[in-house]
Amino acid sequence: MSAALFDLALRVRARDAGCPVPRLLHNPAPAREAVVAVAVRRQGATVGVSAVGPDGHTHSGSGAAGLAALARAAGCAGGDLTAAPTAVIDTPATLRALAALAVAHADPARGGEPDVWAGSALAGWWVERAAHPGTSAVADVLAVSRQRYVLGVVPGRDHRQMWRQAFGVPAGLGGLLAWHRAVTFGPLLAGLDPIRADDDWLLGVHQQAVAEQRSWDRPESLGVAAGRLASRCDAADLYEAALLGDPLWRARGVHTGFVCHGKVVVGAGEQAGRVVVECARLDTRLRAGGAVLGWPGDPMTAIADPACRFSGEVLATAVTDGALRVSIGGLRRTGYQPAAGETVTVIPAPPSPATIRSRRTVVARLYKRRFSWLSQGAAPVAARRDVPLAVLIAAADTDTGMREN
């Protein structure tokens, strides 16, 4: 079976059942303490904004008044963004319209009231963090619905009204909040805390701009730009790893090659610190040098506690008698030791939050150092050096293959 056939089976089941079928058991969209439903409408060059906050009241306005309405609905009209809520939307077009409106009123020097500056900074924060999967700043309920559930229709034809009917969501802006509750119930995916920390960090940057009555959209330093880029890259890696914490997603991952499932043929007791797992499928994405973790049981079995699982590094992969054998080394001497004959599941090891923080600290320090080439904005001078023969051979083989293709 392929991942496409796996998804097709879910759609067929949803069609036969006449209701949404889950693809994830865990909630992939974390939310903050409060949520605000947001919608926009365009009338020529004018952008109208409507928002429903925790109080259930609808706040609306056009242009600068629309940003002020956002601030009132979010409870930050006075300029305090520390309790900024999650924006609930049902189309990315909402954020695109808010982005242009927020930038146009980002500079307090151009006039306006404090609630307009606060609404502008809040919208700018939403737009920036929306590009980071797993963020707590924005929840696109249509995208979350498609990720967590499947309807029995052709992909792409599950429009918004169809999802509203499936969840019994009332029409109108207030229905977005009910829709959000319907698709985000249950336990949250584990491993998203670093992304929440990045949400808070950028919110602090916008809060400082509002407090100092300056534009949050001004040109940023190289260090801040590098931090934002690193945040986006790290968020993608952290979110992909968090998805593998969901048992249904791991079941699908068997057919994409990201989850390795098989029997131990060489136990840790036979070769100290090394095991060999034999799998029936040959399409694994595990590669030599990649860090992995595993535990006894099939992919639907919950990931074991650290004391009851093993971790190591892929040493090699090879096909023997029609089966894939994955050699894993570097196992701990204490804790769980896989024995021959056991059935285990192996997945890529998630990124280490401590390593991410350490790397960002080093980069930030380099940008702050006076004589660092990063802080000076000058790239290192190119220099010739000897190239290993193995690299030359590999490059020649690659070039030959490209010419043949």
Per-residue pLDDT reduced to its tens digit, 145-177:
999 999 999 988 899 999 999 999 988 898 999
**Of the candidates 154, 123, 97, the residue with the CA atom closest to the CA atom of residue 36:** 123
Domain boundary among 301, 333, 348: 348
Contact criterion met (CB below 8 Å) for 38 and 51: yes
Residues near 70 by beta carbon (within 8 Å), at least 6 away in sequence: 36, 38, 49, 51, 59, 119, 122, 123
Residues in the chain: 405
For residue 180, which phi and psi values (nearest 5 degrees)? -60, -40
Do residues 39 and 156 share a domain? yes
**Of the candidates 128, 136, 115, the residue with the CA atom closest to the CA atom of residue 51:** 115
Whole-number pLDDT of residue 10:
94
Do residues 63 and 210 share a domain? yes
Kindly report, residue by residue over 253-304, the tens digit of the pLDDT: 999 999 999 999 988 876 678 899 999 888 888 889 999 999 999 999 999 8
Do residues 75 and 162 share a domain? yes
CA gap 146, 26 in Å, rounded: 14
CA gap 14, 295 in Å, rounded: 31
pTM: 0.85
- Please report whether residue 339 resides in a domain: yes
Do residues 205 and 114 share a domain? yes
The phi-psi region of residue 165 (left if phi > 0; otherwise alpha if psi is between -120 and 50; otherwise beta) is: alpha
Supply the DSSP symbol for 109. G
> CB burial class (10 A; 0-12, 13-18, 19+) of residue 391?
exposed
* DSSP bridge partners of 374: none
Whole-number pLDDT of residue 379:
63
Whole-number pLDDT of residue 223:
76
Do residues 97 and 186 share a domain? yes
What's 283's domain CATH number?
2.40.30
- Please report whether residue 145 resides in a domain: yes
Whole-number pLDDT of residue 405:
39
Task: Work out how many domains the chain is built from and give that number.
Answer: 2
Helix (H, G, I), strand (E, B) or coil at 31: coil
What average pLDDT does range 69-73 have in this prediction?
94
- Please report whether residue 290 resides in a domain: yes
- Please report whether residue 88 resides in a domain: yes
Do residues 52 and 192 share a domain? yes
Whole-number pLDDT of residue 404:
42
What average pLDDT does range 11-27 have in this prediction?
94
Which residue segment(s) compose the domain that 119 sits in? 3-218
- Token pair 């535990």: residue: 295
Q: Does the structure show a pLDDT above 90 at 385?
A: no
Confidence category of residue 400, pLDDT binned at 50, 70, 90:
very low
| Rounded percentage of the chain residues whose pLDDT exceeds 70 | 94
Kindly report, residue by residue over 100-121, the tens digit of the pLDDT: 999 999 988 887 788 999 999 9
CA gap 279, 314 in Å, rounded: 14
Do residues 161 and 269 share a domain? no
- Please report whether residue 104 resides in a domain: yes
Residues near 118 by beta carbon (within 8 Å), at least 6 away in sequence: 71, 76, 77, 78, 79, 80, 81, 210
Do residues 209 and 263 share a domain? no
Do residues 197 and 325 share a domain? no
Q: Does the structure show a pLDDT above 70 at 136?
A: yes
Q: What is the residue type of 108? A: P
- Please report whether residue 360 resides in a domain: no
- Please report whether residue 54 resides in a domain: yes
Domain boundary among 218, 234, 265: 218
CA gap 259, 301 in Å, rounded: 13
The mean pLDDT value of the chain amounts to 88
- Please report whether residue 239 resides in a domain: no
Do residues 143 and 268 share a domain? no
Contact criterion met (CB below 8 Å) for 37 and 52: yes
Do residues 202 and 313 share a domain? no
DSSP characters over 220-274: PPHHHHHHHHHHHHHHHHHHHHHHTTSHHHHHHHTTTTSSEEEEEEE-TTTSTTE
Domain boundary among 305, 320, 348: 348
Q: Does the structure show a pLDDT above 60 at 310?
A: yes
Do residues 84 and 180 share a domain? yes
